[in-house]
Amino acid sequence: MSTVNQTPATQSPALKDQIREFIMENLAHAKGITSFTDDENLMESGVVDSLGIFRIVSFLEEELHVRISDEEINAETLQSVNSIEKLVLSKKK
Amino acid sequence: MAYILQQLLTKSAERFPEKTAVWARGRSVTYRELNERSNQLAHLLHERGIRKGDRIGIYFPKCVESVIAMLGIVKAGAVYVPLDPQAPAERIGYIIGNCGCRALITREEKRRGLDEATRESLEFCVLIDETPKSSNGSEVLPWTILSEFPASDAPKVVLTETDLAYILYTSGSTGRPKGVMLTHQNALTFIEWCAETFKISSEDRLSNHAPLHFDLSVFDVYNTLEAGATVYLITEDLALFPAKLASFIEAQGITVWYSVPSALTLLLLHANLNAEKLAKLRLILFAGEVFPMKYLRQLANLLPHIELQNLYGPTETNVCTYYRVERDRLPSMDKLPIGIACENTEVFAVNDQDEIVTEPSGIGELYVRGPSVTFGYWADPEKTAKMVVPNRFQRNFEEKMYRTGDLVQLAEDGNYYFLGRRDSMIKSRGYRIELGEIESALLSYESVKEAVAIAIPDDIVSNRIIAVIAPHDGMDIKPADLQQHCGTRIPKYMIPEMIEFRTTLPKTSTGKVDRVQLTQESVRAAQQAAAEPVSQ
């Protein structure tokens, strides 16, 4: 396990909880999935599909008030709860 | 002339041996390699006792080996069954059992995910990735074993165009998927029509967006082989991100695109498309669901150089009608026609008086006849007899025609317009979904007494699915638990995204659940929800 490059800014339980809860209730349940980890690749496990991605983007823009460009919508940024959190934090700096 | 699918490959392999035939996930195979590898696979299958008409499943996320497997199986005279790698193992197990697959081409991870009974029912599996130490269940063979078999030609098998080539499973109204049997002739009728109509050449680069268990992929793969072109298989991870996908189309110089409209809508809305970036793209085909006019107009304006074609047809007929989008008519059109019959295919609408509709504005159910029509459903003579019926409009000789269940209207200009379904089949993202299959999954949950699945019209995906449930007395059901249960029986795209609970469901005078009332209520509620301003 590597902790290199992990800044304190990536640890914000409230934000992470919000993201996790949104994905669980709005996307995972509708796919018959009831658990996933913060590191899990949500696209590989089928939690997030092509429309799910844009529901996450709307959630980030409308509820968390960050602006996401089309180019930022990619497999790296939206892969997991952790990567989404990282994206939001980078926007809020 | 080709009368069996593999001839498309062998001919192109002679003409363009060193040209790339298939590209996927950064890997590619030339026509020579594709031909040799599929010959070797056919020999392996033959040596293992696979004979004409035997079913072999293809079960892994798409990659170049998918096309090798398809061709290797038909070269052995067998019938391939593409299995959705994302579907629940239970459903895959049902399909393997239903059509009696003797073997699978798969990956170890997928094989391990199947239940024990299914694994044991298979005589062997060819793994495209690795060989496990213990095979528990069927015998497993590594992909590397192919090199031990002759590459120069395929085993000798007598085949005619009326032999089966593949079986595609679609949603079934009685709760189980049904296997549409397609012959070489069914497929080639469509492929040859496409080749001529769309002038596919060896210079073309086709994309393959649809999954391989979806009939749109038949065009992508076989029209590529027919023309000696190159097909780029678009994997799930790439399909998810419109901006990345648009860059991919540009970078690979894709010239022909075929997908469901919702994939095009997402590209349109989120990929900053422009004509300059997609200069090489010359043809966009779409099928599988109705393209909302507002997005089609935007697409047509944004990409003025690209020919747009609306193809229509259930899996049972592949494609049977088409409409070439006329840009100058688009502004005044409120609905896109499904068009006129493809060549070598006849379509007509039959009205409630059981007469063929000949007058403009006449409405009826669309029937299809000709060599593209399926023989029917695998091991289901009852359903086959209901859908593939004797042609009662001519009695000179015995002939079958397919009733689509789609209501259409004939227009003045000879085009047909799609109006709706006669039954409870719906489309979502181009997938055919029988609401009955969802209901049967819901009802298999112990605490559910009554269940109705409802389609809510949606701009982008055609329909979203919700369910209304009445639990058994005193039972408390958590929506997430019920959705999870559905996930073990039906594919993710069929699981209701929202579940509403009532103590009892409204009934019609005959005592049946009143679907119409429930649907109206749900659609109204959804419209109201959509109209409400977003909460701050």
* Closest CA of chain B from A17, distance in Å: 18
Q: Does A34 touch chain B (CB under 8 A)?
A: yes
Query: Tell me, what's the pLDDT at A93?
Result: 72
- All residues at 6 or more sequence positions from B113 whose CB lies less than 8 Å from its CB, including other chains: B89
- Cβ contacts of A21 on chain B, cutoff 8 Å: none
Enter the DSSP assignment of B318: S
* Closest CA of chain B from A34, distance in Å: 7
What beta strand segments (E) does B94-177 contain? 103-106, 124-127, 139-142, 164-170
Q: Six-digit token pair at A83?
A: 């990567």
0.90 surpassed by complex ipTM:
no
Residues B425-473: tens digit of each pLDDT: 999 988 999 999 999 999 999 999 999 999 999 888 889 999 999 999 9
Is B322 in contact with B311 (CB distance < 8 Å)?
Answer: yes
Enter the DSSP assignment of B356: B
Query: Tell me, what's the pLDDT at A12?
Result: 61
Query: Tell me, what's the pLDDT at A50?
Result: 83
Enter the DSSP assignment of A20: H
Q: What are phi and psi of B100, to 5 degrees?
A: 60, 50
What beta strand segments (E) does B171-238 contain? 178-183, 205-208, 230-233
Q: Please, what is the Cα angle at A75 between A72 and A80, to 5 degrees?
A: 100
- B484 with A46: Cβ contact below 8 A: no
Q: Does A35 touch chain B (CB under 8 A)?
A: no
* Closest CA of chain B from A74, distance in Å: 6
* Closest CA of chain A from B25, distance in Å: 15
Is B206 in contact with B234 (CB distance < 8 Å)?
Answer: no
Q: Which of B270, B479, B483 lies at the smallest CB-CB distance from A73?
A: B270
Query: Tell me, what's the pLDDT at B355?
Result: 96
- Cβ contacts of B460 on chain A, cutoff 8 Å: 51
Q: Among B144, B99, B130, which Cα is nearest to B111's?
A: B130
Q: What is the pTM of this model?
A: 0.90
Query: Tell me, what's the pLDDT at A6?
Result: 44
Kindly state the average pLDDT of the residues A63-86: 91
Q: Which residues of chain B have pLDDT under 50?
A: 535-536
Q: Which of B270, B429, B495 lies at the smallest CB-CB distance from A54?
A: B270
Query: Tell me, what's the pLDDT at A11?
Result: 54
Q: Does A65 touch chain B (CB under 8 A)?
A: no
Residues B316-351: tens digit of each pLDDT: 999 999 999 999 999 999 899 999 999 999 999 999
Where do runs of H (alpha helix) occur along B253-356? 261-270, 293-302
Does the CA dihedral A46-A47-A49-A53 come out positive or negative? negative
- Cβ contacts of B533 on chain A, cutoff 8 Å: none
Q: Does A33 touch chain B (CB under 8 A)?
A: yes
Query: Tell me, what's the pLDDT at B206?
Result: 98
Closest-CA residue of chain B to A64: B536
Q: Which of B243, B271, B480 lies at the smallest CB-CB distance from A29?
A: B480
Query: Tell me, what's the pLDDT at A3?
Result: 41
- B272 with A70: Cβ contact below 8 A: yes
